[in-house]
């Protein structure tokens, strides 16, 4: 998920009268969605509640839409954006610390936070503003197994490359000296460290995840990478409608999909 923020701001979980504000309605130009916010991700919930109270999302666009994947909104630059304008980099100057919860994963209809990539954001802190709603797809058990294998292969390679950057200067000097033995030794150190850390990165699906991904669908490869903090309880058909709109080469809808209003409702 693209999200470009620089500073990190640690949000405190404070009692701001939002303890009963777990249900919101998001009115869009394509219809309304009712979304429940999870209490178990309090930092993200409190941040979203604050933004809704401020009316922040009203008038913004779903600026990035990929059918069978997700719809993304929350970029402040999308308000009154010119047609075709590249969007996705706007933010408030703060992030929200990651809140990964095993019970909450990327099944169809969940609300999750966009973020910057691992290279500049190794803690996987979330954007203070931008979010996405998952559409995804339904997998057969065999497809799911193959996907998990591919994801883990990619995650391990990415982890190795991140670790290697920490030894970039030593690696460069060994290459310049054509010290093959030294390079082999350093490679072994990196491999052992990668193997040790990879257990925390490995995608392992629970029975609940497998059930969801083979019935309602979703995006399994995002699990453990982005914070999920809510889900659509009414209006999945609106998600489907938005996901199906025509887009340009930057995945921006050719016809603006506008978030018209977001407000709290009783459970």
129-162 pLDDT tens trace:
999 999 999 999 999 999 999 999 999 999 999 8
Residue 58 CA, chain-centre distance (Å), reads 21
38-70: per-residue pLDDT in tens?
999 999 999 999 999 999 999 999 999 999 999
- 3-state per-residue secondary structure call for 119-131: CCCCCCCEECCCE
- Residue with the bigger pLDDT between 45 and 91: it is 45
Residues 160, 237 share a domain = no
68-78: per-residue pLDDT in tens?
999 999 999 99
Residues 166, 43 share a domain = no
Count how many Cα atoms sit within 13 Å of the Cα of residue 140 in the half-sphere of its side chain: 3
Residues 98, 165 share a domain = no
The whole-number average pLDDT for the span 216-224 is 97
Residues 121, 44 share a domain = yes
Residues 169, 134 share a domain = no
| Residue 183 belongs to a domain | yes
What separation, in Å, do the N-terminal and C-terminal C-alpha atoms of the chain show? 30
Residues 150, 249 share a domain = no
Which of 170, 201, 232 is a domain's end point? 201
How does the average pLDDT of the chain come out, rounded?
91
Confidence at residue 4, expressed as pLDDT on a 0 to 100 scale: 39
Write out the residue range of the structural domain in which residue 194 sits. 142-201
Q: What is the CATH number of the domain that holds 65?
A: 2.40.100.10
Residues 114, 157 share a domain = no
| Residue 13 belongs to a domain | no
Is the four-CA dihedral 15, 72, 219, 124 of positive or negative sign? Answer: negative
Residues 247, 181 share a domain = no
Residues 95, 193 share a domain = no
Confidence at residue 266, expressed as pLDDT on a 0 to 100 scale: 87
Please count the structural domains in the chain: 2
Least confident of 98-112, 157-171, 230-244: 157-171
| Residue 18 belongs to a domain | no
Residues 167, 98 share a domain = no
| Residue 17 belongs to a domain | no
4-26: per-residue pLDDT in tens?
333 333 333 333 445 568 999 99
Quote the CA–CA distance of 178 and 173 in Å, as a whole number. Answer: 8
pTM, two decimals, is 0.87
| Residue 120 belongs to a domain | yes
Residues 102, 176 share a domain = no
Name residues whose C-beta falls within 8 Å of residue 154's C-beta, 6 or more positions apart in sequence. Answer: none
| Residue 10 belongs to a domain | no
β-pairing, 126-127 vs 70-73, is unpaired
Residues 110, 161 share a domain = no
């Amino acid at each position: 998920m693209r999200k470009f923020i620089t500073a990190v701001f640690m949000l405190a979980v404070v009692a701001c009268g939002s303890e009963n504000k777990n249900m919101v309605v998001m009115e869009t130009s394509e219809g309304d969605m009712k979304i429940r916010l999870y209490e178990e991700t309090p930092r993200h919930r409190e941040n979203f509640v604050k933004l809704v109270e401020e009316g922040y999302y009203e008038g913004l666009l779903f600026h990035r839409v990929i059918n069978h994947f997700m719809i993304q909104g929350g970029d402040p630059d999308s308000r009154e954006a010119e047609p075709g304008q590249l969007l996705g980099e706007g933010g408030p100057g703060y992030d929200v610390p990651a809140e990964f919860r095993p019970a909450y994963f990327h099944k169809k209809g969940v609300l999750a936070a966009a973020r910057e990539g691992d290279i500049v954001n190794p803690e996987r802190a979330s954007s203070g503003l931008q979010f996405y709603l998952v559409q995804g797809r339904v997998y057969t058990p065999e497809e799911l197994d193959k996907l998990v294998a591919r994801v883990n292969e990619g995650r391990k390679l990415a982890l190795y490359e991140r670790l290697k950057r920490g030894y970039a200067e030593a690696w460069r000097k060994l290459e310049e000296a054509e010290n093959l033995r030294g390079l082999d030794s350093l490679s072994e150190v990196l491999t052992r460290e990668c193997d040790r850390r990879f257990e925390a990165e490995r995608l392992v699906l629970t029975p609940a995840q497998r059930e969801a991904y083979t019935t309602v669908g979703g995006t399994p490869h995002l699990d453990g990478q982005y914070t999920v903090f809510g889900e659509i309880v009414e209006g999945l058909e609106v998600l489907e409608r938005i996901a199906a709109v025509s887009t340009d080469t930057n995945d921006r809808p050719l016809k603006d999909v506008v978030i018209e209003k977001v407000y709290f409702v009783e459970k």
